[in-house]
Structure 1
Amino acid sequence: MNAHPIVSQDEWLEARRALLAKEKAHMQANDELARLRRELPWVKITKPYVFDTPSGQATLSDLFDGRSQLFLYHFMFGPDWEEGCTGCSFLCDHVDGARQHFEHHDLTFVAVSRAPLEKLEAYRKRMGWGFRWVSSAHTDFNYDFHVSFPPERVTNGRMTYNFSEQDYSPDCQELPGFSVFSKDDSGQIFHTYSCFSRGGETLLGAYQFIDQTPKGRMEKVNGNLMDWVKRHDRYENDGRTTTKPCCGCSAAT
């Protein structure tokens, strides 16, 4: 940590009030962003998608589970992986606490990955998560929403991620994001919003605690974001051992 000036209580209060004004402006700007997000135009989903679930095959409509809004998290877990992505695991550690509230506010959460269902279920149980996790192994869902890029799906060495075309890297066969859908009374489904790369930070409650502290995130060691994060069952006793990101999720911008 850099040395900080030590001041009187009155001087600290003056500085804190100045920062409070900026914090309020930031919150108001965020409220405006949320309003603009809600006003985005929608796209009707016409392509049929069928997912593998513990209770059998399910359509995209089935995943709403009786609600009108669906939040799908694109969890990085490739077909030949033995574990889910570290960063995605970090994010999903935050889901169940929030889910017990927003499920009573007309919103369903489901994670989706290309790995086979048995791998997803084993990892979900290992992590102690209660949310539903489905496999898109037999659909084009991940490709259509630009979060999976196996070599056979890449042409001319380019891929589209986070709404822009970029050079393809073999390390980026799976990338993170989330997509939101709405279903009307007639059963029509609409894609309302998607967010990728660092946009998922808004869901990371742990960051909200850490960002209040003097040391902050202490990230970007060797240029890597989230270099300190481990799967929650892999921390050592003091919780301070660092690890590199498991894949390209933290490097993507």
Structure 2
Amino acid sequence: MLSNPVVSREEWLEARRALLATEKEETRLRDKIRAERLKLPWVKVDKTYTFDTPAGKKTLADLFDGRSQLMIYHFMFGPDWEAGCPGCSFLSDHIDGTLAHLNHHDVTYVTVSRAPLDKIEAYKKRMGWKFPWVSSFGSDFNFDYHVSFTREELESGKVFYNFRDISGDQANDELPGMSAFIRDEAGNVYHTYSDYARGGEEILTTLMILDRAPKGRNETSTLSFVKRHDEYEEPSPAHSCCA
């Protein structure tokens, strides 16, 4: 059923122009945030982190793969999980097409999870993904970047996530995020940025399209509609005009 008023083209145009003014404010604010993000101070990474990869053990510096910038997506996939998080899987469906562009722009993108490498490889094959995905199993990396939590932390009643303490019952043993690093000519690595929770929504093209669709995201809670892409029911048959 229609829930919005139906008006003339002239009335619609007036309403659309009013919204455009707000959208331009949002664009200018987004530009301001991006500029401030680039001015953030850096933290030198002195700790040695080792990751399991299909090519053997690699350090954080190795993950740059010869480039100066590294983006790491913290994918929720714990050591005892049977499959990766549906929400993280949804985000990861958007990545493969960006890799050539990122690499050409001196950026390496790597996904990191605490699941053992054999579980990661099996799930990656199931999903049909190509992006680099490594295991931090046995490393402090996920804990130091506040996306994995011990049972003791969860039972203590609070954990540190998204730059603040949150209640333990709001958390899980794994939570999502993205972190950025840069390497200088001397080989030193610096942590430059992280975001968590809904901070990564801007890279989710599907959400940006849905935000412009008549029903929007049409969700009962954040990403309530999302399933792994091989778990959706078969789509309805195409209309004859599109077959």
What is the TM-score normalised by the length of structure 2? Answer: 0.93
Alignment of 1:13-162 (within 5 A): 13-154=13-154, 156-162=156-162
Q: CA deviation at 1:153?
A: 4.9
- The answer to whether the 8 Å contact 2:115/2:135 transfers is yes
Distance in 2 between residues matched to 1:193 and 1:163, nearest whole Å: 12
Q: CA deviation at 1:170?
A: 8.6
Task: For residue 5 of structure 1, give the secondary structure of its aligned residue in structure 2.
Answer: coil
1:225 to 222, 234, 243: 222
- The answer to whether the 8 Å contact 2:158/2:168 transfers is yes
Structure 1 residues without counterparts, runs of 5 or longer: 240-253
Distance in 1 between residues matched to 2:15 and 2:159, nearest whole Å: 46
**Aligned residue type for 1:180:** A
Deviation digits for residues 34-93 of structure 1 (CA, Å, limit 9, x no counterpart):
000010111000000000000000000000011111000000000001100000000000
- The answer to whether the 8 Å contact 2:154/2:169 transfers is no
**Aligned residue type for 1:120:** I
- The answer to whether the 8 Å contact 2:159/2:171 transfers is no
Query: Paired residue for 1:251?
Result: none
1:193 aligns with 2:193: yes
- The answer to whether the 8 Å contact 2:102/2:108 transfers is yes
Q: CA deviation at 1:191?
A: 0.3
Task: For residue 172 of structure 1, give the secondary structure of its aligned residue in structure 2.
Answer: coil
What is the TM-score normalised by the length of structure 1? Answer: 0.90
1:8 aligns with 2:8: yes
RMSD after superposition: 1.5
Deviation digits for residues 195-225 of structure 1 (CA, Å, limit 9, x no counterpart):
00011211110001100011000112xxx32
Structure 2 residues without counterparts, runs of 5 or longer: 237-243
Query: Aligned residues: percent identity?
Result: 56
Distance in 1 between residues matched to 2:226 and 2:63, nearest whole Å: 30
Distance in 1 between residues matched to 2:159 and 2:178, nearest whole Å: 18
Query: Paired residue for 1:236?
Result: 233
Distance in 2 between residues matched to 1:119 and 1:171, nearest whole Å: 23
- The answer to whether the 8 Å contact 2:51/2:136 transfers is yes
**Aligned residue type for 1:31:** D
Distance in 2 between residues matched to 1:48 and 1:131, nearest whole Å: 23
- The answer to whether the 8 Å contact 1:151/1:170 transfers is no
- The answer to whether the 8 Å contact 1:116/1:135 transfers is yes
**Aligned residue type for 1:238:** P
Distance in 2 between residues matched to 1:138 and 1:46, nearest whole Å: 18
- The answer to whether the 8 Å contact 1:48/1:59 transfers is yes
Deviation digits for residues 143-199 of structure 1 (CA, Å, limit 9, x no counterpart):
100100130455733210111112213961000001000111111110000000011
Query: Paired residue for 1:164?
Result: 164
Task: For residue 165 of structure 2, give the secondary structure of its aligned residue in structure 1.
Answer: strand
Distance in 2 between residues matched to 1:59 and 1:51, nearest whole Å: 6
